[in-house]
């Protein structure tokens, strides 16, 4: 099986593929072309995200308020964990390029170690992303969805170090449990093959009663003010909005509802980071396969580690895409 890099019987045949005007082997060039097409796919997704965001520019969720958690730590740390994930991916890119470099010098031991590290960092990244998803799906404060599909969140003004700030309040902290729980309809009871999703912990009624009992709590809408902050309603307006328009209690996010704001945000989040995570996962699998080949000495016998270089290109591309996802989802 020498077909990938070594002799292909075309040497010197200008019209038979023996001439390489681009000084790149067939496999490497095809990897580049795949990367170009995959880059266009990702830019299609990100541009679609931009389209939806420009469409709802006045009410889009603020990423800093959505992704604020770090595993094993309580408190509010916007961006820290995603920055860590970005760093992990960049480091994995470095170990990959070191493996490629060691391959050029035909150092099997070094290639093995660096590829192993790349795989480990890749797994850390995928794990982090799974955790990020789980946190996002679980949600933290909960919200009320209106008849028109808008999200109303709760909070109160508190003074921290002399500065008045709007602090979010969770619905579980204010809602007054009426103990009138409706039982979730399952397909085994009643009409066959009809079931419904998990019911929210509270009804709109219970949240409204809780809002009435807590005179400091106010409602926040999605609409952004000129300062780029969410609009906070007056006390009367807060009660009125929940009473008249409140329809559904939303906890966390999924493809239908999203407590952080417009459900489009959650849809794009799941779709784009999911597609990227799938790329990372397949990258890890491909890296493992090539790693085994390195250990078995396949490339040592072939006399070239170009295969490592090709998977390296793919791996760097995954890193490249993440740099853009990081900017457009978390920073901008």
Partner 1 sequence: MADAHKLEILRGLIKFKSNTQKIWGVLILLSIVTAVEVVLGIYKPEALMTQVLSMKLLNWIFIILTIVKAYYITWDFMHMRDETKALRRMVVWTAVFLICYLIFILLQEGGYIEGVYSSEYIKRDF
- Rounded Cα–Cα distance for residues 304 and 324 (Å): 33
Asked whether position 262 contacts partner 1 by CB under 8 A, the answer is no
Selected binder of partner 1 within 10, 25, 52, 112 (CB under 8 A): 52
Selected binder of partner 1 within 22, 163, 183, 191 (CB under 8 A): 22
Binding piece for partner 1, criterion CB under 8 A, among 3-11, 52-60, 182-190, 276-284: 52-60
The three-class DSSP label of residue 192 is coil
- Rounded Cα–Cα distance for residues 28 and 307 (Å): 9
Cβ neighbors of 295 (< 8 A, separation 6 or more) are 112
Query: Which 296-325 residues touch partner 1, going by CB under 8 A?
Result: 312-313, 316-317, 319-320, 323-324
Asked whether position 105 contacts partner 1 by CB under 8 A, the answer is yes
- In this structure, what token pair is assigned to residue 279? 């790329």
Closest CA to 309 of 103, 24, 39: 103
Asked whether position 224 contacts partner 1 by CB under 8 A, the answer is no
Selected binder of partner 1 within 6, 29, 255, 289 (CB under 8 A): 29
Closest CA to 215 of 245, 174, 250: 174
**How many chain residues are in contact with partner 1, going by CB under 8 A?**
56
Are 174 and 154 within 8 A, CB to CB? yes
Residue 248 has, within 13 A of its CA and on its CB side, a CA count of 16
Binding site for partner 1 (CB under 8 A): 21-24, 29, 32-33, 35-36, 39-40, 43-44, 47-48, 50-58, 64, 78-80, 83, 86-87, 90-91, 93-94, 96-98, 100-101, 104-105, 228, 312-313, 316-317, 319-320, 323-324, 326-327, 330-332
């Amino acid at each position: 099986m020498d077909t990938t890099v070594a002799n292909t019987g075309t040497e010197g045949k200008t019209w038979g593929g023996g001439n390489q005007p681009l000084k790149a082997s067939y496999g490497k060039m095809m990897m580049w072309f795949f990367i170009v097409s995959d880059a266009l796919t990702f830019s299609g997704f990100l541009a679609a995200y931009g389209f939806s965001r420009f469409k709802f520019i006045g009410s889009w969720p603020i990423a800093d308020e959505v992704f604020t958690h770090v595993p094993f730590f309580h408190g509010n740390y916007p961006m820290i964990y995603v920055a860590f994930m970005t760093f992990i991916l960049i480091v994995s890119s470095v170990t990959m390029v070191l493996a490629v470099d060691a391959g050029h010098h035909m150092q099997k031991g070094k290639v093995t170690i660096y590829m192993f590290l790349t795989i480990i960092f890749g797994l850390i990244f995928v794990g982090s992303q799974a955790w990020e998803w789980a946190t996002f799906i679980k949600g933290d404060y909960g919200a009320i969805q209106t008849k028109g599909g808008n999200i109303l969140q709760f909070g109160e003004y508190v003074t921290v170090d002399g500065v008045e700030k709007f602090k979010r309040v969770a619905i579980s902290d204010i809602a007054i449990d009426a103990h009138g729980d409706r039982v979730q309809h399952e397909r085994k009871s009643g009409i066959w093959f009809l079931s419904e999703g998990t019911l929210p912990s509270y009804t709109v009624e219970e949240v409204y009663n809780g809002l009435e009992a807590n005179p400091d709590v106010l409602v926040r809408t999605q609409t952004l003010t000129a300062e780029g902050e969410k609009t906070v309603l007056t006390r009367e307006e807060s009660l009125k909005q929940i009473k008249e328009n409140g329809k559904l209690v939303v906890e966390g996010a999924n493809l239908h509802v999203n407590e952080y704001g417009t459900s489009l945000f959650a849809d794009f989040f799941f779709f784009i980071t999911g597609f990227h995570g799938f790329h990372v996962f397949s990258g890890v699998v491909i890296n493992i396969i090539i790693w085994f080949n390195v250990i078995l000495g396949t490339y040592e016998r072939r006399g070239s580690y170009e295969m490592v270089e090709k998977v390296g290109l793919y791996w760097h591309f995954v890193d490249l895409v993440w740099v853009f996802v990081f900017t457009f989802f978390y920073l901008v």
